[in-house]
Amino acid sequence: MNIQLGRGKTARRAYGIDEIALVPGQRTLDPALADTRWTIGGVEREIPIIASAMDGVVDVGMAVRLTQLGALGVLNLEGIQTRYEDPNPILDRIASVGPSEFVGLMQELYAEPIKPELIERRVREIKEQGGIAAVSATPAGALQYGQTVAKAGADLFFVQATVVSTAHLSPESVTPLDLAQFCQEMPVPVILGNCVTYEVALNLMKAGAAGILVGIGPGAACTSRGVLGVGIPQATAVSDCAAARDDFYKETGKYVAIIADGGLITGGDICKCIACGADGVMIGSPFARAAEAPGRGYHWGMATPSPVLPRGTRIRVGTTGTLEQILRGPAQLDDGTHNLLGALKTSMGTLGAKDIKEMQQVEVVIAPSLLTEGKVYQKAQQLGMGK
């Protein structure tokens, strides 16, 4: 239903994850029977959770450990890991400065050129330790380093920008990335994003994407919505893009995974995104809180070091446990940020969903009071959901 903003403009109501709730059906099942497996680009994983390609979240060690635990981590090919032989002193500097010095320092550190030999080395280091080598670059970076990534033998290539489309206009002096040609020529599956609408998602699938990232600006460290005023709340964005996936599958027989990217903190957030139609999710700040994370208890957005218009910030997330505790438990916190797999399985059991496809079909209601109803004491004492 469209709402009239004024005489010259109408708007469609969009919903965020915090505004919806999942409704139990007529059956339940033991969480142990819930099958959470999913496939992206021919790679099957037990856990439908991807760690974001952010420098405070994924390095070589995190990518390997995430693989071992049944999930997936994506390495940023235009970040600290490929600009510096030894990233550790750089990460120490980022964690040590005050808020007023941060943006300037980031712009200085990210001015160091990307080294193609380090791209190859990082991919090789992940694979030599038995990890899945999933890597990420901007469209400009993909155009420049795509062959390097292919030569290195990466398993998945994420091409990411704040907004990506197949109809990109560039100045005559700039050669834009032809997404369809790139997907066709790359010897590894290409995941494209980010987008938030049915039409763009469908066009990206037609271009050959093996997966679609959905989300503009909801990330904990992202400021794009404030700087640009652009975005659609995740519940609506995921649902629209999932509809494109289903229509594309009916038309072609090719199933393209939809990944909800950004704004997800708790197990409940993940469950609700899948119920809206996502096949998997990409999260950053929950993993930045792991003891093994490279960010030293900090998390920052990919567009933070922009030399002309930073659209991210650095947030203090602290360290709350090991990566295993956050992903598989046992949980040491009561706020839904530990044992994300356990939360998903328990939710699926409560809803009677045997697998991800059934989870996508559960009933959803609009429920703005879901997170506040009856939680007066938790909020007053800053416990559980009141933190």
Structure tokens at 356: 């991800």
Specify whether 222 is catalytic.
Answer: yes
Give 363-369 contacts, CB < 8 A, sequence gap 24+: 363/22, 363/23, 363/25, 364/20, 364/21, 364/22, 364/23, 364/235, 364/272, 364/275, 364/276, 365/20, 365/21, 365/23, 366/15, 366/19, 366/20, 367/19, 367/20, 367/21, 368/18, 368/19
Tokens 């005559």 sit on residue: 172
Report how far apart, in Å, the C-alpha atoms of 187 and of each of 78, 150, 182 are. Answer: 21, 6, 10
Q: How many CA atoms lie within 13 A of 165 on its CB side?
A: 11
Q: How many CA atoms lie within 13 A of 53 on its CB side?
A: 24
Catalytic residue among 45, 83, 122, 222: 222
| Helix H or strand E segment including 134 | strand 134-137
Catalytic residue among 12, 13, 37, 316: 316
User: Any bridge partners for residue 137, and if so which?
Assistant: 159
**Cβ(15)–Cβ(233) below 8 Å:** yes
Give 231-234 contacts, CB < 8 A, sequence gap 24+: 231/196, 232/14, 232/196, 232/197, 233/14, 233/15, 233/16, 233/17, 233/19, 234/16, 234/17, 234/260, 234/262, 234/263, 234/264, 234/273, 234/276
Structure tokens at 299: 């998390």
Which residues are part of the catalytic machinery?
A: 222, 316
